[in-house]
Amino acid sequence: MVTNHESHYIGGEYRAAHSAETISVINPSTEEAFASIVDGDSSDIDAAVQAADAAGVTWAATPPSERAASLRRLADTYEGRIDEIAALVTRQNGTPISVSRAMQQQIPLYYRYFASLADTLVEEEPLETSIGDALLQRRPVGVVGAITPWNGPQPLLAWKIGPALAAGCTAVIKPAPETSLDAFLFAEIATEAGIPAGVVNVVTGGRETGSALVEHPLVRKIAFTGSTVAGKAIAETCGRDLKRVTLELGGKSAAILLEDVDLDAFKPFVATACSPNTGQICRSLTRVLAPRSRYDEVVDAVSAAMSEIPIGDPTDPANLFGPLVSERQRDRVESYLELGQREGAKVVVGGGRSTANDRGFYIEPTVFRDVTNDMRIAREEIFGPVLVVIAYENEDEAIAIANDSEYGLGGGVFSPDREHATAVARRIVTGTIGVNSASFPTEAPFGGVKNSGMGRELGPSSLEPYLELKTIFRSA
């Protein structure tokens, strides 16, 4: 049975859509449509933006401490629905349920962190200058357009909505078509938590819906996570209209295994850092750089680790890999598997469609060896469970290979010598990088350089893109 969603969430309620166009929501593990959403048009976007703009007057005037309290209630309310949201995300995009639950469990922590930033937000403070005193005022930028991807819909939404609400902004959320249903649940949770009507709105749809949101004159800030191609188009529009924009885009990050790497210690990172969420995470360390003296050993270890990752029905907690999000994505990854072999790389494990299930958009976990950094499989984001192992002669060459990329989102350096690994990490051109670690703290900025984006999310400065500064000069 297909559930038809014929509304958007606007002004604190479900409101009938203007557009009559719909998009099917497909379960990637069964290939069956189980819901449909509205493909929103510019009128739908306008209704949501108008509601957000109207609500912004009161929300911006709400003291930061009260906004912080609202965010904490939001965190508490979300906590009670973690299992429901995790199951829905798994059904929509095939994220293994154990991974989906782990993602959702982080959400309340994010909102509580942004609440703590609201608590310390000073909206006006005196400023001493060389010509007299002044006042420095911080005010919300206005309506925010939050455009989120399908691979981690709720975490990446929290990184945008959390600081926006803390700063006093209102928002219109445009979720990915594949994961729109959980955005409705979030809007319901926000209302239940006492977030005023119109502060959070949801309009579903595809590319044109997102374009209408970016182009709306009342939207003053865009926060986007997605592809580099889409991000550049959004940046161009925002630049023309002088709107603020934060972009978290693609990646082709390197895991540098130093000469003394402990491969038994590294192997668990193959699933958690190199190919998390079936390889559908933009910060994945999909290029494994191995010292030539230990190349075969590294290839064997990485291949064994990939082969041991259980793949299958994403609702089974035992499986860490599920299907890819769509038939189109499976076909795209398949094309890279064929391309890699044409380029001269050798498949060690995997290399085709998985037979774990008789239905679903599954690809075998795949490792390529004999890869050089000029091959397309080493340069382009594949977004699937595909790793390439590249040999290097010395440390300087490893650093040069890692930096020889149009991307700069993540990275990792692995060695028992923490200080040595840190020294190497300092030389990598990227926005974030781990030393023997696959995780990053909420309290530190996250984002990319080069074609991986602009701006930062998380960390103590995450409110700044949502605040305007105003200086009031005063005579004696």
Tokens of 222: 């865009």
Structural fold of domain 254-441: Aldehyde Dehydrogenase; Chain A, domain 2 (3.40.309)
pLDDT block averages, 10 residues each, the chain of length 476: 85 97 97 97 98 98 98 98 97 97 98 98 92 93 98 97 98 97 97 98 98 98 97 97 97 98 98 96 97 98 97 96 97 98 98 89 98 98 98 98 98 98 98 93 96 97 97 86
> How many angstroms separate the CA atoms of 360 and 406, rounded?
32
Instruction: Give the start-end residues of each E strand in 275-339.
Output: 287-291
Residues of the chain with CATH 3.40.605.10: 3-249+452-473
Which two three-digit tokens encode residue 310?
């259980």
Which residues are annotated as catalytic?
Answer: 248, 282
C-alpha 142 chain-centroid distance: 23
- The confidence score (pLDDT) of residue 128 equals 87
Kindly report the number of other CB atoms within 10 A of residue 338's CB atom.
11
C-alpha 431/C-alpha 250 separation (Å) is: 12
Task: Note whether 94 and 325 are within 8 A (CB).
Answer: yes
Contact 219, 171 (CB under 8 A): no
pLDDT at 131: 84
CA distance 201 to 47: 10
How far apart CA 435 and CA 421 sit, in angstroms, is 6
In whole angstroms, what is the distance from residue 79 CA to residue 381 CA? 34
Please name every residue paired with 124 in a beta bridge, in sequence order, or none if there are none.
137
Residue 1 has a pLDDT of: 54
Question: Where, residue-wise, is CATH 3.40.309.10 in the chain?
Answer: 254-441
Specify the CATH number of the domain 3-249+452-473: 3.40.605.10
Q: Running DSSP on this structure, what letter comes out for residue 439?
A: -
Amino acid at 297: E
